[in-house]
Amino acid sequence: KSVFYLNAEMVRASARIKSKHGWQSSWWTWPFTKKGIFYLAEQHSGDEPHGRIYLLGNPIVYWSTLLLIFIFVTMQTAYVSRFVYGYIREKRWQRRSFALSAEFEESTLMLSSKKKEGAGPFSLHGALRNQRSRYQFSCVGSFLLAGWAVNLLPYLDVERPTFLYHYLPGLWYAILLAAWTLDSVPAQLGRAKLGITLLLNFAILCAYIFFMPWVYALDISNARTNSMRWLESWT
């Protein structure tokens, strides 16, 4: 009873907050890390180096996860469309599993009936070559996508100020879904997959180092601060 009461009270308390805030941001801007939160700036004069604390997500993490979420949704849409197409074509009005759909996909999309398994980078074989892996990819990915979306739903229609940090619970699901999607690249593209993974991790590390002064309030000049403003909405 206390759990439901506390959650209901939190909802009511949030509904009572009507005032606006200079650093508030809308829910749809969070995946793009369009606007952070300015916490602190040391007193300084002129171009004297000074520190400041600005809450901003790693842009490479935010933007890459959003891209991979889009890729997963596209793959799922294509997969479901093929499932429905196969269902109608074969006129089987009983419930069909994802495994049967994978078999239909294999039989209709192979370029040649004689083609060997695993031939060519665009083969249906690889990480998703069997029924079980395809079913697992779909189910796990859909669960993570739902977790990401559910964390955004409470903020779709609220009047109280919302901030970038409200996106953090959903961000964990976004990162897991991005990693799950990238890990499901077919085995034939193994080298490309490794290269993309290493490049992405290197870019994330470089972005972390580049924006480190805003995290730890390191003394930097105004010119250095301006170079960190990739978007006009950033401090």
202-222 pLDDT per residue, tens: 999 999 999 999 999 898 888
Over residues 20-37, the mean pLDDT reads 91
Measured between alpha carbons, how far is 195 from 189 in angstroms, rounded to an integer? Answer: 10
Structure-model confidence comparison of residues 106 and 73, the more confident one:
73
Structure-model confidence comparison of residues 108 and 198, the more confident one:
198
Over residues 130-159, the mean pLDDT reads 85
Measured between alpha carbons, how far is 31 from 33 in angstroms, rounded to an integer? Answer: 5
User: Token pair for residue 142?
Assistant: 């859909």
Q: At residue 27, what is the residue type?
A: W
DSSP annotation of 28 reads: G
DSSP 3-state of 168: helix
Residue 181: half-sphere exposure toward Cβ, Cα within 13 Å: 24
Average pLDDT over all residues of the chain: 80
Measured between alpha carbons, how far is 23 from 13 in angstroms, rounded to an integer? Answer: 20
pLDDT attached to residue 81 = 81
pLDDT at residue 16 is higher than 60: yes
Measured between alpha carbons, how far is 119 from 22 in angstroms, rounded to an integer? Answer: 57
Using alpha carbons only, give the angle 73, 177, 8 rounded to the nearest 5 degrees: 95
Range with the largest mean pLDDT of 6-10, 46-50, 87-91, 97-101: 6-10
Assess contact for 71 and 63: CB atoms under 8 A: no
